[in-house]
């Protein structure tokens, strides 16, 4: 698997990279890829079908100058910013493989990621009991019942995009300001406010990247991103109000 550690200047560009990588693989020349990027500013990202007026405190975002974007995959609305680590997997779908359906892909990928993060907390007889990393809902990772990673999926015929965010040392209070309670929530949330439902992993980004690279055998040299496809995606989609505020 190839690897890319690439953070572009704007949220629109970073969101565009993921879809451009998927398009490149679906067209033929690309291969399976693991990408990392780390936000430099605060912004909101809604899932493809989310209604902004329902899922975002738009007036607060406008007052604080926090932009709102829409991604190409499903799932709920999130706040991104310093202290988050994003990852992207572009994986090939095969008829008999574990990625052949949405549900089996979720299970396979989340098990891999859970095991990778759990390895950051080795057992020890001389310290407090290690945190147990759990898969919650369909695509959440949590310590106990506190979520630190959410993920979503976009599928094409031959390849899928699976991406998500790890809260490492993020200011959780920002989320309560920018987002109301979500219109849909997993049962294990039990209507808890954002700051009581979420938690930080409190591990340096480089350590998380290392265990994910190992888990996904992302050992090939870094690949060059499809710059032309990225530019088109930004210009025609991710930087436009028509796309970001379509629902």
pLDDT tens-digit map of 170-222: 999 999 999 999 999 999 999 999 999 999 999 999 999 999 999 999 988 87
- What is the overall mean pLDDT for the chain? 94
How far lies 215's CA from each of 164, 190, 210, 218, in Å? 16, 32, 9, 8
Q: C-alpha 115: how far from its chain's center?
A: 17
pLDDT given for residue 122 in this prediction: 82
Q: Please check the confidence at residue 99 and state whether its pLDDT lies above 80.
A: yes
Q: pTM here?
A: 0.92
Q: Kindly indicate the confidence band of residue 131, based on its pLDDT and cuts at 50, 70 and 90.
A: confident
Helices (H), 33-153: 52-55, 58-64, 102-118
pLDDT given for residue 128 in this prediction: 67
* Neighbour order of strands in the sheet with 84-92: 2-5, 33-37, 84-92, 159-167, 146-155, 140-143, 133-136
Q: Could you give phi then psi for residue 150, rounded to 5 degrees?
A: -120, 150
pLDDT tens-digit map of 27-59: 987 789 999 999 999 999 999 999 999 999 999
CATH at 147: 3.30.930.10
Q: Which of 34, 24, 6, 18 is nearest to 69 (CA)?
A: 18
Q: Work out the average pLDDT over 96-114.
A: 95
Q: Which of 162, 159, 172 is nearest to 212 (CA)?
A: 162
Number of residues assigned to the chain: 247
Domain count, the chain: 1
Q: Containing domain of residue 156, as a range?
A: 2-244
Place of tokens 């996904």: 216
Q: Please check the confidence at residue 148 and state whether its pLDDT lies above 60.
A: yes
How far lies 243's CA from each of 8, 50, 58, 147, 235, in Å? 20, 12, 16, 29, 11
Q: Work out the average pLDDT over 218-246.
A: 92
Q: Work out the average pLDDT over 230-236.
A: 96
């Amino acid at each position: 698997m190839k690897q890319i550690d690439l953070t572009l200047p704007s949220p629109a560009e970073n969101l565009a990279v993921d879809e451009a990588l998927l398009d490149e693989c679906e067209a033929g020349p690309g291969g399976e890829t693991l990408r990392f990027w780390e936000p430099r500013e605060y912004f909101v990202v809604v899932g493809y079908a989310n209604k902004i007026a329902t899922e975002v405190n738009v007036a607060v975002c406008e007052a604080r100058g926090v932009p709102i974007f829409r991604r190409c995959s499903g799932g709920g609305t999130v706040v991104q910013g310093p202290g988050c680590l994003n990852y992207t997997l572009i994986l090939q779908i095969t008829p008999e493989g574990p990625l052949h359906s949405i549900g089996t892909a979720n299970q396979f990928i989340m098990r891999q990621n859970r095991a990778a993060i759990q390895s950051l907390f080795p057992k020890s007889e001389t310290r407090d009991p290690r945190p147990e990393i759990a898969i919650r809902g369909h695509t959440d990772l949590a310590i106990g019942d506190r979520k630190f990673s959410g993920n979503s999926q976009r599928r094409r015929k031959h390849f899928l995009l699976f991406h998500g965010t790890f809260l490492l040392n993020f200011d959780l209070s920002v989320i309560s300001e920018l987002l109301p309670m979500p219109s849909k929530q997993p049962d294990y949330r039990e209507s808890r406010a954002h700051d009581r439902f979420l938690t930080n992993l409190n591990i340096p980004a480089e350590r998380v990247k290392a265990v994910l690279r190992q888990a996904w055998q992302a050992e090939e040299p870094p690949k060059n991103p499809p710059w032309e496809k990225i530019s088109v995606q930004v210009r025609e989609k991710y930087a436009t109000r028509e796309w970001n505020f379509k629902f």
